[in-house]
Chains A and B, each alone.
Chain A
Amino acid sequence: MSEPVVHITNLNLWYRQKAVLQDLNWTINPSENWLVYGASGSGKTTLAKAIAGLVRANGSITLNFKPEAAQPPVVHYVANWYQFKDLEGQSNFYYQQRYNKQAVEVTATVRAELESYGKKHGLNFGIAERIMSDLGFAALIDSTLIQLSSGEHKKLQLVKALWLNPQLLILDQPYNGLDTRSRENLNTLLDELAEQGMQLILIANDLEIPACIDRLAEIREGKLVEISASDRMTDFFTEETVPPVPAFLREHPAAAASELVVKMIGINVSYGEKQVLRNVDWEVRSGEKWLLQGHNGSGKSTLLSLICGDHPQAYSNNFYLFGNKRGSGESIWEIKARIGLISPELHWYFDPSATVWQSIASGFYDSSGLFCEPGSTKHAQADELVSYFGLEEYKNVLMTELPLGKQRLALLARTIIKNPELLILDEPCQGLDLHQTRYFNMLVDELCKNGTTLIYVGHFDALVPSCIEKRILLENGAVKSIETMTEAVETADNFENFEILTKP
């Protein structure tokens, strides 16, 4: 028997006076590929970082690389969260910046970024080009970093990692923000590399995983517990119930002023030569529940940014929001007051200096961070949501000190706190585990019983709230189809994994 590739004994790690990893043991033998999952805050990321040598823990971790192998003898960790920098080495961005043409030239282009990466690691650019085209990323090579959506940034990270082709690759939630096709292509690429000798540790809560994965484990109470594939499925489909929603969210949102919440007529948006939305017509009526889908780069986030008052080109287009023509004297703050928004970008660029409680309460004002004292009623409501989402112990902790899943929960609480007329949930459950995702979707179902209008974006695993009735599908910036969910399911080819949706 040859030496294990990774050998971990009695690993212990504490964070904020709490044990995260406790006497954890793990052996990874040559040619094994592992999937590791667990609730948010269970220590998955910490364990991965410890193996990659990015955090220090007590106990022993030994890595054995194969000197004769074709791959470089390194472990490469792809974080679930990363910060890019501008050309001056700062990362002081705001999330609307990518829509502002004058502000995008402060970061490098994808090409320059990859060229300098390739040079640093002595890699052949031709290989990167192949990976890019497999991941549907090739067209973005001349975009600047700030113009990329979160899914596109994820692809950039993955291109670098696969290009490097290390002996041991650790991917932490690599599917976040990827559309179905890119996920499948990623899995194929991973299988190929694994075949050639790369070993993989995949940290993910998803169901579709590469075929090469042959061992599964969950992190529970600081330990690694090996799980069989069938047990994982059972666990996945356990029934979930949500406790009653706080009373202030059960009320009908402030009376909708108009039957038509959104009315878009021939919307076009372009950046120079590049057209991102083409002739989009779309009507959303009060109380309707919509699913918005499309591959990465199909224009979803641009479409939503128009609705949310975040896109300057809203003023050169013809559309109506809440019955008023956009650009007829309303302020973006009046619009935002009626919308509850969450998106990967909002999370990404959120004020890092705010505590959990301040972040939640800032939802009353649609600001990134809290700038005023909300008064006693709102104070009590924020407290109620803190406990509803199980965040009491983190209440006064800075957002950046929390695991990603918990940060996301806090931002979800922020999204719903004012019980808005229109909820825009753009991949709301990124970074949550399966239970939290189902739980949150049921909560959305509960909230939406009172006439709330919903626009929901999710590529994923068809894990979407059951109240959804209609779907709009974008392709290359144009509307490909608008149909009811029943129609969508019947013409299933485009509907992502609808089988899972209909399981118990």
Chain B
Amino acid sequence: MSNYFNTLPLREKLNQLGVCDFMDSAEFLDGVNVLKGKKLVIVGCGAQGLNQGLNLRDSGLNVSYALRKEAIEGKRDSWKNATDNGFTVGTYEELIPSADLVINLTPDKQHTAVVNAVMPLMKQGATLLYSHGFNIVEEGMQIRKDITVIMVAPKCPGSEVRAEYVRGFGVPTLIAVHPENDPEGKGLLQAKAYCVGTGGHRAGVLKSSFVAEVKSDLMGEQTILCGLLQTGSILSFDKMIEKGIDAGYASKLVQYGVEVITEALKQGGITAMMDRLSNVAKIKAFEVSEELKDIMRPLFQKHQDDIMSGEFSRIMMEDWANGDKNLLAWRAETGETAFEKTPAGDVKIGEQEYFDNYTLMVAFVRAGVELAFETMVQAGIKPESAYYESLHETPLIANTIARKKLFEMNRVISDTAEYGCYLFDQACKPLLADFMKKVDTDLVGKNFNEGKDGAVDNRALIEVNEAIRGHQVEQIGAVLRKAMTAMKAIKTA
């Protein structure tokens, strides 16, 4: 097997990277009809598997679970998840041959093994569905030509997929059809119906391609979403300790600050986030984030280049083959950072205080979101896809940090994201060393406005506002957010 993307001629590469169509709700009027009465078999019953399955069944579809023998015999959690909820559970041999739609919701690292095991059992003309395209694009998995291959990828953790569905809503979702495997031309209709079954059609659906989904997903998770949030959190905490800020306070500010700050991002983009600062602080945060963008641009570009060329997947798969040597070492290192080991203090931090005393994180978030977005768009990814994989997901990841710091974030995200996150973090920290030497407690730990009279130059402020508001991520964001206005407000501690 070789990297699928690299086998394509440039024209086709650009073509597939450019698939991006924000779908009108009228496209979903047929509901789940295309899949009614069909047999849906989900392989794997973890976070996505269980919750997608519960939603699909509640939408009137016939769902059962095929698990590997060890899981059934050992009555593992995946087996319990499915049986406790009254689903039929069986082995591959029992369930796959009669399945019309086989849904692969096992961890990405296992996809090759799983698909090799189930494919020979699949009936002629069946469909194989993924929630992430890594196996097809990066590993170049070849699927039998009679099988249709589609993707429905909810842009949220599995628990949210369920919670939003039962509220009567859904989570934003990407759908795609693999152009090499659509022999009957039914792929898109099935993907749309599946998306309705999970509730995704109520929150905005982007028609994408396997290639665009993978290349943008990898880029987002490595840089702004996980990598930069990790680097920024650790550097901020260490700076506060160096400058004598109370450790409990510093730990709480960092743990919850990124969630509070990105809540504004979720509701109104970078503009809303920056508007939470006073005028003086906003101008400062703008200048700092411009500087950060200049410093980090080459690193963002390197990550994007390595993702596009397949170099990233190659070295990661090397690590897989090597028993996850690097991954495990980096994971242990993250667990040992001072931030991770210092419990949040029992101090009250007001909502506004998170902005005023953590202006540095506001600057990190602006720099990271804009850089990730710009770099993806320059690489040929469409702005809508780039938005989902940068700005949209940042608050979701920030929420996991608020829950249990970086350890929790790295546990919840996929192995691929975790690997990429550490890779970025390892390179980014030294890159920012000189910059961090200049940072003082006015930017992190104390109120930036303290001792300032708040006066600003009108023209300077207008220019800053225009630069923030005029950015492409803000314009595209305004349109996409309208489709998902009801995303539940994340609560803060």
Contacts and interface: CB of A to CB of B under 8 A. Distances in A.
Interface string B160-183: 001100111100000000000000
A189 B31 CA distance: 56
B32 interface: yes
Contact-residue size bin, chain A (C-beta under 8 Å from the other chain): 35 or more
Given A102-B81, A312-B54, A334-B60, A362 B168 contact: yes
A371 B486 contact: yes
A89 interface: yes
B452 interface: no
A331 B168 CA distance: 12
B489 A353 contact: yes
A490 interface: no
B60 A331 contact: yes
A209 to B, nearest CB: 36
A331 to B, nearest CB: 4
B159 interface: yes
B166 A310 contact: yes
A371 B490 contact: no
A42 B35 CA distance: 54
B411 interface: no
Interface string B202-241: 1000000000000000000000000000000000000000
A96 B489 contact: no
Interface in B38-68: 50, 54, 57-62
B84 interface: yes
B399 to A, nearest CB: 9
Interface string A271-289: 0000000000000000000
Interface string A306-347: 000110111110000000000001111110000000000000
Interface in B74-103: 80-81, 84-87
The A interface, classified by DSSP as helix, strand, loop or mixed, is loop
Contacts of B489: 352-353
A367 B404 contact: no
Contacts of B162: 100, 103
A2 interface: no
A352 B60 CA distance: 29
A371 B50 contact: no
A433 interface: no
Given A94-B167, A329-B60, A331-B59, A88 B404 contact: yes
Nearest to B63: A315
B160 to A, nearest CB: 10
B46 to A, nearest CB: 10
B422 to A, nearest CB: 23
A88 B403 contact: yes
A196 interface: no
Interface string B469-493: 0000000000000000110111101
Nearest to A353: B489
A351 B57 contact: no
A369 B58 contact: no
Given A92-B490, A332-B58, A362-B168, A316 B36 contact: no
Interface in A80-129: 88-92, 94, 96-97, 100-103
Contact of A309 (B58, B62, B404): B58
Given A90-B493, A92-B490, A330-B60, A369 B403 contact: no
Contacts of B86: 312-316
Contacts of A91: 491
Contacts of A96: 166
Nearest to B484: A371
Given A88-B404, A315-B86, A371-B202, A94 B491 contact: no
A90 B403 contact: yes
A328 to B, nearest CB: 9
Given A351-B488, A369-B167, A312 B85 contact: yes
B258 to A, nearest CB: 15
Nearest to B164: A94
B298 interface: no
Contact of A329 (B36, B87, B168): B36
Given A102-B50, A331-B58, A369-B486, A94 B85 contact: no
Nearest to A97: B163
Interface of A: 88-92, 94, 96-97, 100-103, 309-310, 312-316, 329-334, 351-353, 362, 365-371
Interface of B: 32, 36-37, 50, 54, 57-62, 80-81, 84-87, 159, 162-163, 166-169, 202, 403-404, 485-486, 488-491, 493
Given A101-B85, A332-B58, 17 more contacts: A88-B403, A91-B491, A94-B166, A100-B85, A100-B162, A101-B80, A101-B84, A312-B85, A312-B86, A315-B87, A331-B59, A331-B60, A351-B488, A365-B168, A368-B167, A370-B486, A371-B486
